[in-house]
Amino acid sequence: MEYITVKQAAEKWGISARRVQVLCAQDRIKGVTRFGRSIMIPKDAPLPTAEQSEKNAPLPMPRKSPFLNMTDLYTRPGSAEEAIEALSDMPEAQTLFAAEIAYSRGEIDKVIEHASEFLQSHSGFYAVNAGGMLLALAAMWKGDISLYRQAKIHICEAPWKTPADKQIMSLSLACIDSAVRDTSNYPEWFERGQFEHLHPDSHPAAKVFYIKYLMIKAQEMAKGAFKLPDVTGLGLMKTIPYIAEPLISRVVAERVVIPEIHLRLITAAVYHQIGDDESAVMHIDKAIDLALPDRLFGILAEYRRNLDTVLDDRLILKDKDAFSATKELHRTMLASWIKLHNSLHSRNISSALTVREREISRLAAFGLSNMEIAKRLNISVSTVRKIILTAMNKTGTDKRRDLGAFV
Amino acid sequence: MSAGRNIRGAPIYATSTEPPAEGELYRTLEIEGVTLDIFYGYYDPERERGVLEPMPIFPDFQNDPTYTELGYMLVNADGDVCEHFSPKAEGSEEGWCNDCRYLELHDTCLGVCRCEQNRKNE
């Protein structure tokens, strides 16, 4: 029998060496033996499954991603067309992948066309789930509430067979809702972060969903939508990078391009909103380098609003055409997204605020004083006051802290 | 001229979300005999130039007191309150003239102080 060391087992299973030692001490790895002070683990020993109480039941974190563009199909920037071509023997997968790449490029009409075709011709669970999600996100870009609702119905009617399928379904629906700022429908296990983020087989899209969920929750809390004892919204936001950075390292190791772009941009948005633009810029630069070869401007446009002008500044430096394309996509998307959001919710996001007004309104809603805002943005306090007054006038609010509802 | 009304029915003075050019005329205000041309620019040119879009530059009435024909003081809504401050709502968060019930707003950051104690005697 061949044996491996603790360190080798840790690398193989994607857990820490310390964890392997604990599992050995608990006799949970079969066939472990000792040679002197060294622990020897059989090479083909499986990673023991965690014992969990009924309340914290093991999460069958979906091992199979519904999104082909988030798997090892697309591991190299610039290889999207090649990957589409490589699927020519599998027309269903080819259509789905083409739709996903079209979404990442912001080619929404193509997404709707491919996704609708896909939904009409396929009835497998993953096909329907993925098609429905794409349709819902495309509807968001179009501001089409009827299409949005229709897409969600598709997902609800997807023929799930296993509890894992059901979890993918509930996660997909929650992700769609959170795209319009409704985070009330996430499954409890997801909200508690009780899944194996760092497992090599875990759902790459779920990593993206999770960090996005944390960012939205922290923003809502910072803006006063809800409170937690002894925790501020900004304080919560400051913890997100500690969760996000290991996930980024994981997707980099797995070489999945699209989740890496998403994770980097979400993390950059968090860094920017907590005032660490240096770290934000580092992630933005890497995300841009990954997105440019295949012109994935749709993903850049999706996060432009959360990054204020930081993304623009870096894009202009790298590729002016990409900047123009992203800006135009964002302009179209924003108007539609606000229309859809305001149709679904009683709060009204304001479309009249400029970038600067929105940025300062957000910081005011986070509870920063005028002096703190001025210092962070390197402008005068007087200017901050004037911008806040302008934003208050445009949104019709009397209190600066209420501006959060409109951004 | 306002650019419509906000959700509470108050006139919106700010214009579109497209960044205006520096030096462009924002609007001309006429308040009880006083005519003011307001232009776009940067309040803090050294720090703000090149950062983002310019804003309407309102006169600094604290350094250059201006009164209407009826003797009422023109004020900057974002200016610090005076000793006659009376909050228009409970729990006003900032000590700005904007929070004072004597302020009659004519634009986002400019208004007339209707406090009789601040009125200029003829």
Asked if B110 and B58 count as a contact pair (C-beta separation under 8 A), the reply is yes
Asked whether residue B94 carries a pLDDT value surpassing 80, the answer given is: no
Tally Cβ neighbours within 10 Å of residue A37. 5
C-alpha of A246 from chain center: 14
- A395 and B77 within 8 Å at the Cβ level: the answer is no
In terms of Cα–Cα distance, which of A341, A389, A385 is closest to A176? A341
Quick one: DSSP state of residue B52?
A: S
Same domain, A218 and A176: yes
Q: Is residue A327 part of a domain?
A: yes
Measured CA to CA, the distance from residue A334 to residue A317 in angstroms comes to: 23
Structure-block tokens of residue A322: 């990409």
Tally Cβ neighbours within 10 Å of residue A386. 22
- A386 and B78 within 8 Å at the Cβ level: the answer is yes
In the block, residue with structure tokens 């950051």: B109
Question: Quick one: pLDDT at residue B116?
Answer: 92
**Residues of chain B with C-beta less than 8 angstroms from the C-beta of A310:** none
Residue A153's CATH number: 1.25.40.10
Q: Which residue has better confidence, A229 or B10?
A: A229
Distance from CA of B42 to the nearest CA of A (A): 9
**Residues of chain A with C-beta less than 8 angstroms from the C-beta of B8:** 396
Phi, psi for residue B48 in degrees, rounded to 5: -100, -15
pLDDT > 70 in chain B, percent: 74
Q: Is residue A349 part of a domain?
A: no
B29: which strand partners?
Answer: B36
Question: Quick one: pLDDT at residue A295?
Answer: 95
The secondary structure of A247-285 as a DSSP string is HHHHHHHHT-HHHHHHHHHHHHHHHHHTT-HHHHHHHHH
The domain in which residue A391 lies consists of 355-406
Asked whether residue B110 carries a pLDDT value surpassing 50, the answer given is: yes
- For A390, name the nearest residue in chain B, comparing CA atoms only: B108
Helix-, strand-, coil-residue percentages of chain B, each rounded to 5: 10, 30, 60
Same domain, A265 and A380: no
Radius of gyration of chain A (CA): 23
ipTM: 0.80
Same domain, A98 and A214: yes
Question: Quick one: pLDDT at residue B10?
Answer: 57
Q: Is residue A95 part of a domain?
A: yes
Question: Quick one: pLDDT at residue B111?
Answer: 92
Dihedral sign computed on CA atoms, order A15, A18, A19, A23 = positive
Domain boundary among A344, A367, A395: A344
Instruction: Tell me what the pLDDT averaged over chain B comes to.
Output: 80
Distance from CA of B38 to the nearest CA of A (A): 14
Measured CA to CA, the distance from residue A300 to residue B2 in angstroms comes to: 35
The secondary structure of A331-351 as a DSSP string is HHHHHHHHHHHHHHSSS---S
- For A382, name the nearest residue in chain B, comparing CA atoms only: B78
B58, B62, B63, B98: best to mutate for the A interface, most A CBs within 10 A: B98
How many contiguous H segments (helices) and E segments (strands) does chain B have? Answer: 1, 6
pLDDT > 70 in chain A, percent: 90
Question: Quick one: pLDDT at residue A293?
Answer: 95
Q: Is residue A123 part of a domain?
A: yes
Same domain, A14 and A122: no
Question: Quick one: pLDDT at residue B52?
Answer: 67
A253-298 per-position pLDDT tens digit: 888 899 999 999 999 999 999 999 999 999 999 999 999 999 999 9
How many interface pairs between A and B have CB atoms less than 8 angstroms apart? 77
The model's pTM is 0.76
Domain ranges of chain B: 25-118
Q: Is residue A185 part of a domain?
A: yes
CB contact set of B106 (below 8 Å; sequence gap of 6+): B29, B31, B112
Which residues in chain A show pLDDT less than 50? 51-63
Quick one: DSSP state of residue A162?
A: S
- A394 and B12 within 8 Å at the Cβ level: the answer is yes
Same domain, A253 and A365: no
Lowest mean pLDDT among A294-303, B3-12, B70-79: B3-12
The two beta strands, A38-42 and A33-35, are antiparallel
Residue A360's CATH number: 1.10.10.10
- A390 and B17 within 8 Å at the Cβ level: the answer is no
Distance from CA of B116 to the nearest CA of A (A): 25
Q: Is residue A50 part of a domain?
A: no
- For A308, name the nearest residue in chain B, comparing CA atoms only: B52
Domains identified in chain A, total number: 3
Question: Quick one: pLDDT at residue A322?
Answer: 93
Domain boundary among A344, A363, A397: A344
Same domain, A378 and A272: no
Distance from CA of B63 to the nearest CA of A (A): 14
Q: Is residue A85 part of a domain?
A: yes
Measured CA to CA, the distance from residue A312 to residue A296 in angstroms comes to: 15
